[in-house]
Amino acid sequence: MSEPTHGFTKHGHAVHQNTMDHMNKNTPYKRFNNKFAVFITSRVGTMTCAYVFSIIAFISLPAILVQAGILSQSQVPGILTRPGLILIVAWIAQTFIQLVLLSVIMVGQDVQSKASDVRAAKTFEDTEKILDAMDIETEGGIKDLADLIKGLKND
Predicted confidence at residue 67, as pLDDT, reads: 87
Could you tell me the mean pLDDT of each successive run of 10 residues in the chain, 155 residues long? Answer: 65 62 69 85 89 91 90 90 89 88 86 81 80 70 75 78
Predicted confidence at residue 51, as pLDDT, reads: 94
The residue type found at 76 is V
Predicted confidence at residue 48, as pLDDT, reads: 93
Predicted confidence at residue 153, as pLDDT, reads: 80
User: How far apart are the C-alpha atoms of 119 and 107, rounded to whole Å?
Assistant: 19
For 72: left if phi > 0, alpha if psi spans -120 to 50, otherwise beta; the answer is beta
